C-alpha cells in the first residue's frame, strides 16, 4: 500500500477549492482536514471520546478499531459515518459533513 492516500470531498465547492488532498500514513483524518483549514467538530481535541468529529467517509479507509466500533455503535451512527480522529491514513477516500 502507498504511504500517501488521497482525500476528496463530496461537496463540489470544497472539491473545487481543495482538490485532492494528500494524506500521509499514520495521520488521523481529523488532523489532516484541520491542517488545510477545514473545521472539524470536537470537544475532546481528537482523543476519541466525544464523537462530534464524525464524518461521512466512503472509499478505502482504515478499518474501524475496536474503540471506534464501540463509539459508532453507542451513538447509533449511520453506516457511512466514521469518527474522524480515529480514521488513520493512508487511504483513498471521499468525505462529507453535515456542517460543511
Domain boundaries, the chain: 4-96
Cell triple for residue 56?
A: 461521512
Predicted confidence at residue 16, as pLDDT, reads: 97
Phi first, then psi, for residue 56 (nearest 5°) are: -85, 125
pLDDT band at 3; cut points 50, 70, 90: confident
Closest to 82 (Cα-Cα) out of 92, 90, 62? 62
Give counts: helices (H), strands (E), the chain.
3, 5
How do residues 14-58 score in pLDDT, each as one tens digit? Answer: 999 999 999 999 999 999 999 999 999 999 999 999 999 999 999
Cell triple for residue 85?
A: 480522529
Burial letters 3-38, b for 16+ CB under 10 A, else e: eebbbbbeeeebeeebeebebeeebbbbbbbbeeeb
Judge whether 99 and 85 are in contact, CB under 8 Å: no
The correct CATH number of 4-96 out of 2.130.10.10, 3.40.630.10, 3.40.50.970, 3.10.20.30 is: 3.10.20.30
What pTM does this model have? Answer: 0.94
pLDDT band at 1; cut points 50, 70, 90: very low
Residue 56, strand partner residues: 81, 96
Amino acid at each position: 500500500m502507498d504511504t500517501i492516500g488521497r482525500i476528496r470531498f463530496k461537496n463540489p465547492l470544497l472539491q473545487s477549492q481543495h482538490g485532492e488532498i494528500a494524506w500521509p500514513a499514520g495521520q488521523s483524518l481529523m488532523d489532516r482536514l484541520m491542517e488545510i483549514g477545514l473545521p472539524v467538530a470536537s470537544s475532546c481535541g481528537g482523543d476519541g471520546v466525544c464523537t462530534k468529529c464524525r464524518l461521512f467517509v466512503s472509499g478505502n479507509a482504515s478499518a474501524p478499531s475496536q474503540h471506534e466500533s464501540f463509539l459508532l455503535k453507542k451513538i447509533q451512527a449511520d453506516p457511512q459515518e466514521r469518527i474522524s480522529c480515529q480514521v488513520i491514513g493512508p487511504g483513498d477516500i471521499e468525505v462529507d459533513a453535515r456542517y460543511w
